[in-house]
Chains A and B, each alone.
Chain A
Amino acid sequence: MARTRDESSPLFAGNAAGTLRLIVYLALAMVLMVLDQRNGWLWRVRYAASAVVEPVYRLAGLPALGIRTMSVAFADRQLLTEQNQRLREDLLLANAKLNRMAAVAEQNQRLKELLDTQHSLKLNVQLARVVGVDLGAYRYQLTLNMGARDGVKPGQPVIDAHGVMGQVKEVLPTTSVVMLITDPSHAIPVVIERSGLRTVAYGSRDGNQLSLPNLPLVADVRVGDKLLTSGLGGRFPPGFPVGDIVSVAPAATGMFQVAQARPAADIDRSEDVLLLHDQAEPDGPPALVTPMGPPSNLAPDAAPAASSSAHGAQP
């Protein structure tokens, strides 16, 4: 038995068949990658395979859940009392603030009704829990325990108690993946609260900061300035905290200022997050109106081809 196996793997000489098989598999993998990159197949396959994938996620999330439960079970009594006290104080403070805000909000609502606008300060949210799963890609993603069956749609903003966390990227039947605002390929339109300057905050490579790479040199930006969502682009509703500026420096090119910001949300520590339901109405330019004209069946017969092609290009 052992002898035959040794003969199949010679000590030095390689066999050409193995190399050929390697080349075939590598080519297959590359073709898959290119096709997936172009068409985004993977998410369709994952959706189809969700019956297998989702239990595995739950299973992989168990250790994190266990550690969390253990930390509660074995936590010091004093620690818990302290935490409880602190939370109670926070709640009191928040309630006091809310009471004051309620009057302002009501006034705001009345004024807005007078102005006949549709904006409202009400939040339509859904509470979701973070499933402890590591999806590898340098940890710029979160997995939530809500999915398409709970009405989650791609593009929904995700917030926690302190600020914006990210947006839903992909949805499976009962889980969804959130792209964090610190992802290097994510950008969020923001406004600086103090000066009203509008700009864009990008994620950064180290994964726990935001970077604002193109502030004008004359712009009034200081360390400690707060960033809010501006609502431009229509993805995130306006007025949610995004982060605080921690450093400002001129860019290497000397054409811009570059600022770094710390996200306001507890991106590493949040266990419960809120999914915003009503998406902000787009504040960008209005949708293109299709030009009105005589119906195409009234067009003269002299140039039927031209008229049909013009109509084809319109939408």
Chain B
Amino acid sequence: MNKQRLSLWWFVGTLMFALLSMLVPLPRVLEPFKPYWPALFLLYWSLESEDRVTLGLAFVVGLCADLFNGVVLGEQALRLCALVFIALRFRSRLRFFPMWQQTLAVLALLLNDRILLLIVRVLAGASLPPASWWISPFVGAALWPFLFLLLDDLRARLRIQ
């Protein structure tokens, strides 16, 4: 019982942490290198504990992110829904990929996410972003193995599901 509650708090805590780190500013030079944290954390959880991550959860996390970011309501909800759907669909295969293949898959997912965002922004009438805007998915994919191993290790240490 206590264990379950702890694991639930851990799950919610990591998602909150992802939203917070999305808001934390970086120095101007590092700004384009900032990965899209909510997507990375949601991906981790959708690979590791499928019964918790559903499309509804992705939608709610996206709505919270929109609320914090002040962009159009529903933008990140749409992106995270699409991301989680693809991740859940190919979950069984993604889980047994070696790490480098998994990283490539994550890169593809994040690039797909950026393309979705671009479509939404252009349809909403925003101007095209600068070229450095495309660096972020690559940084996210490069961080993926470390994030995955770190979260797995923490989970093993806390002995939670």
Contacts and interface: CB of A to CB of B under 8 A. Distances in A.
Interface stretch (B5-13, B122-130, B147-155): B122-130
Most buried by A among B26, B50, B71, B74: B74
B43 to A, nearest CB: 15
B24 A45 contact: no
A63 interface: yes
Contacts of A177: 70
A25 B81 contact: yes
B81 A134 contact: no
Contacts of A268: 28
B24 A60 contact: yes
Interface in B60-94: 62, 66-75, 77-78, 81-82, 85, 88-89, 91-93
B55 A25 contact: yes
Interface residue tally on B, bucketed by range: 35 or more
A286 interface: no
A18 B24 contact: no
Contact of A205 (B55, B59, B124, B127): B127
Given A22-B81, A134-B23, A205-B130, A29 B59 contact: yes
A271 B18 CA distance: 26
B20 A32 contact: no
A87 interface: no
Given A32-B77, A132-B25, A37 B68 contact: no
A53 B73 contact: no
Interface in A9-33: 9-11, 14, 18, 21-22, 25-26, 28-33
A37 to B, nearest CB: 6
A30 B74 contact: yes
B26 A134 contact: yes
Contacts of B100: none
A59 B133 CA distance: 26
Interface residues of A, number: 50
Most buried by A among B25, B69, B75, B91: B25
Contact of A32 (B19, B50, B55, B73): B73
A135 B128 contact: no
A63 to B, nearest CB: 5
B70 to A, nearest CB: 5
Interface stretch (A92-100, A136-144, A254-262, A275-283): A136-144
A9 B75 CA distance: 27
B127 A184 contact: yes
Contacts of A42: 66-67, 70, 72-73
A111 interface: no
A11 B82 CA distance: 19
A18 B89 contact: yes
Contacts of B55: 18, 21-22, 25
Contacts of A82: none
B67 A45 contact: yes
Given A9-B88, A18-B89, A206-B130, A28 B66 contact: no
Interface of A: 5-6, 8-11, 14, 18, 21-22, 25-26, 28-33, 36-37, 41-43, 45-46, 49, 53, 56-57, 59-60, 63-64, 132-139, 141, 170, 177, 184-185, 205-207, 268
Given A46-B67, A60-B24, A136-B69, 13 more contacts: A9-B91, A29-B59, A29-B62, A29-B74, A29-B77, A33-B120, A56-B20, A60-B23, A137-B70, A138-B129, A138-B133, A205-B130, A268-B28
15 contacts: A8-B50, A9-B50, A18-B85, A22-B81, A25-B56, A26-B78, A30-B74, A36-B74, A46-B67, A59-B20, A139-B31, A141-B70, A177-B70, A185-B126, A205-B127
